[in-house]
Amino acid sequence: GAGVSQSPSNKVTEKGKDVELRCDPISGHTALYWYRQRLGQGLEFLIYFQGNSAPDKSGLPSDRFSAERTGESVSTLTIQRTQQEDSAVYLCASSSYLYTDTQYFGPGTRLTVL
Amino acid sequence: LAKTTQPISMDSYEGQEVNITCSHNNIATNDYITWYQQFPSQGPRFIIQGYKTKVTNEVASLFIPADRKSSTLSLPRVSLSDTAVYYCLVGDRDSSYKLIFGSGTRLLVRP
């Protein structure tokens, strides 16, 4: 079956602009996660959704970052007034239930802020 | 959360067995050990998970000694396509949704 998909695959934007990153999880997966990976580094947890609610937003770097999920499906990560330090690969993952460390990752969106 | 320590990089040749060891001295009783693999420009992929002794699947084996303060991922007869970064994660299964990835081990398989 289809895996996790993300769009766009690459995004280049100017400093100060807003960007929206999209994630389509595996159908039927109730849990969805966003991570950030800077070049050559490990992953940073940003936020997770259980259904449409986001109980843990502790990883969001600043109030410029927000995320939503609708219909227990698609999720959007929005970064307002982008800064150069936001440049990274943003990865989305999903799992069939929340309390599992077996997550299925998408290919990521590479964001470059000029 | 238990902190893990892995070698930064390893080199191997096709057909060899590769063993990557991860140290996790502060592992808690409820913690599981999980390994992920990441190819360039892709998201991480689950490889194997274990709690104690030995676990084997179609891809790899995981060896965990009795004190559980370390674990070894074993890749039998590696090929060029096994060149990737390998991450060791340790966490309580009930709160492990927040995967904590370190820098991982960069494995290079040479012909």
Which residues, at least 6 apart from A16, have a Cβ–Cβ distance to it below 8 Å? A81, A82
Predicted confidence at residue A54, as pLDDT, reads 84
The rounded Cα A38 to chain-centroid distance in angstroms is: 13
Predicted confidence at residue B27, as pLDDT, reads 87
Q: Half-sphere exposure (CA, 13 Å, Cβ side) for A47?
A: 22
Distance from CA of A80 to the nearest CA of B (A): 24
Average pLDDT of the segment spanning B23-48: 89
Contact A8, A111 (CB under 8 A): no
Between A97 and B3, residue with greater pLDDT: B3
pLDDT digits (tens, 9 = 90+) for A66-114: 999 988 899 999 999 999 999 999 999 998 866 566 789 999 999 999 9
Contact B101 A95 (CB under 8 A): no
Other CB atoms within a 10 A radius of the CB of residue A5 amount to 15
Contact B93 A105 (CB under 8 A): no
Other CB atoms within a 10 A radius of the CB of residue A61 amount to 13
CA distance A52 to B22: 36
Among A14-28, B22-36, B83-97, the minimum mean pLDDT is found in B83-97
Distance from CA of B78 to the nearest CA of A (A): 23
Contact B96 A106 (CB under 8 A): no
Residue B81 phi/psi, 5-degree rounding, is: -75, -5
Distance from CA of B6 to the nearest CA of A (A): 12
pLDDT digits (tens, 9 = 90+) for B72-91: 999 999 999 999 999 998 87
A contacts of B88 (beta carbons < 8 Å): none
Q: Half-sphere exposure (CA, 13 Å, Cβ side) for B98?
A: 14
Question: Which among B8, B31, B40 has a CA at the least distance from the CA of A39?
Answer: B40
At B99, the pLDDT band (50, 70, 90 cuts) reads: confident
Q: Which of A36, A43, A47, A50 to mutate to test the interface with B (most CBs of B within 10 A)?
A: A43
Contact B41 A95 (CB under 8 A): no
Residue A84 phi/psi, 5-degree rounding, is: -60, -30
